[in-house]
């Protein structure tokens, strides 16, 4: 039972001896639609990051609910409401003190996509400075590029960017290699939209509101570390073809 105390009373020799079990903790967890990390299949939220989070919760003895929301709303809830967490979250200096961190759950890349028929070639990120770059609201890639003076056009969801790319309204789309290829395939443009530059790698986390106790954060991190040691995390990744779409590590800073 969630948050209720279970009281077992045994009457012995006319007296009551009661054992009180502590309630299981409960977390409201938010994510966004970023296949193959988190997505809805047959009404169920799944994906390799989702299944890792579910396994962590089971091992740590935590009851939970996962809701899929637009990223900006999910981020706002996770920073304002107690007992909430958010994945998959890039850990930056600006965000560091906003959350307590579980992970990293996996690595991620920052990749530029373009229309194949445009013939865009980028030798470095600087080559993209004069081009229009599509991102989505609240995404760390778009915010970082905008802060560095790039021309960034943000939209409410990541699915709008490949449509804008195909319509010629943007020149580039910044996302991750896995997400970009998965979404392009889902929209029917697996050959028409191609990666042209992977320029950064980051680590992603389950980010929790500061109200979540240090003891609970330690339990979740311990559970994740055990999953990594035992090969459970790798098994989940292979189940979702995590390594089937992977940039050349040697070429990525």
The CA–CA distances, whole Å, from 8 to 4, 16, 18 equal: 13, 10, 6
Q: What is the pLDDT of residues 29-81, one digit of tens each?
A: 999 999 999 999 999 999 999 999 999 999 999 999 999 999 999 999 999 99
Mean pLDDT along residues 203-220 = 98
- Cα gap 242→34, rounded to integer Å: 13
- Spatial neighbors of 161 by CB under 8 A, at least 6 apart, are 134, 135, 136, 155, 170, 173, 175
Bridging pattern class, strands 44-46 and 39-41: antiparallel
Q: What is the pLDDT of residues 89-135, one digit of tens each?
A: 999 999 999 999 999 999 999 999 999 999 999 999 999 999 999 99
What is the pTM (predicted TM-score) of this model? 0.83
- Cα gap 63→25, rounded to integer Å: 6
Count CB-CB contacts under 10 A for residue 143: 16
Binned at pLDDT 50, 70 and 90, residue 21 comes out as low
Specify whether the CB–CB gap between 139 and 32 falls below 8 A.
no
Say how many residues make up the chain: 253
- Cα gap 220→101, rounded to integer Å: 10
Lookup: tokens for 78: 């996770």
pLDDT computed for residue 249 by the predictor: 39
- Spatial neighbors of 6 by CB under 8 A, at least 6 apart, are 20, 21
Mean pLDDT along residues 220-230 = 98
3-class DSSP assignment, residue 87: strand
- Cα gap 131→118, rounded to integer Å: 12
């Amino acid at each position: 039972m969630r948050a209720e105390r279970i009281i077992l009373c045994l009457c012995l020799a006319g007296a009551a001896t009661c054992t009180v079990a502590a309630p299981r903790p409960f977390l409201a967890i938010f994510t966004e639609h970023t296949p193959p990390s988190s997505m809805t299949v047959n009404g169920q939220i799944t994906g390799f990051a989702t299944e890792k989070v579910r396994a962590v919760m089971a091992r740590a003895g935590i009851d939970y609910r996962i809701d899929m929301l637009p990223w900006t709303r999910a981020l706002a809830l996770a920073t304002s409401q107690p007992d909430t967490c958010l994945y998959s979250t890039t850990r930056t200096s600006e965000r560091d003190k906003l959350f307590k961190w579980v992970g990293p759950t996996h690595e991620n890349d920052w990749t530029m996509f373009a229309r194949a028929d445009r013939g865009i070639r980028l030798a470095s990120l600087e080559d993209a400075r004069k081009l229009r770059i599509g991102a989505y609201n609240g995404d760390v890639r778009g915010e970082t590029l905008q802060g560095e003076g790039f021309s960034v056009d943000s939209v409410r969801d990541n699915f709008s960017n490949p449509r804008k790319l195909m319509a010629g309204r943007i020149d580039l789309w910044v996302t991750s290699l896995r997400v970009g290829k998965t979404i392009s395939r889902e929209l029917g443009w697996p050959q028409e939209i191609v990666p042209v530059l992977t320029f950064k790698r980051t680590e992603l986390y389950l980010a929790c509101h500061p109200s979540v106790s240090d003891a609970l954060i330690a339990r979740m991190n311990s559970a994740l570390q055990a999953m990594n040691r035992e090969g459970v995390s790798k098994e989940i990744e292979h189940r979702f073809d995590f390594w089937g779409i992977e940039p050349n590590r040697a070429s990525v800073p």
